Amino acid sequence: MARGLIFVIYLAAVTTFVWASCISDCDQKFDSAVAECKLQFDKPEDAQNLQKCIGSAEEEHQSCIERCSH
């Protein structure tokens, strides 16, 4: 019984680490995408395109986080 409990605790710890790592990867990808948007659309007349680009990055970030949960 003690072995089973230790295994469950170990499995939970590993799962939590993998999930946190996945979220961290999503965050890094989002930060990179936003930085790329800002580089690509850096003029005042590009404001609408910048907003769309960042919006797409936010949608991808949310999808990435959702994939981490599965």
Residue 3 maps to a domain: no
Residue 11 maps to a domain: no
pLDDT one-digit tens code per residue, 16-32: 545 578 999 999 999 99
Residue 4 maps to a domain: no
35 CB burial (10 A radius; 0-12, 13-18, 19+): exposed
Residue 34's domain spans which residues? Answer: 17-68
Mean pLDDT of 39-44: 96
Residue 27 maps to a domain: yes
* Model pTM score: 0.74
Is residue 12 scored above 90 in pLDDT?
no
Give the 3-state secondary structure of residue 69: coil
Residue 43 maps to a domain: yes
Among residues 33, 63, 62, 65, the alpha carbon closest in space to that of 50 is found at 33
Is residue 7 scored above 90 in pLDDT?
no
Q: What percent of the chain is modeled with pLDDT above 90? A: 67
Is residue 69 scored above 80 in pLDDT?
yes
Residue 46 maps to a domain: yes
Q: What is the pLDDT of residue 8?
A: 42
Query: How distant, in Å, are the alpha carbons of 11, 14, 25, 37, 39 from that of 4?
Result: 10, 15, 31, 49, 52
- Number of domains forming the structure of the chain: 1
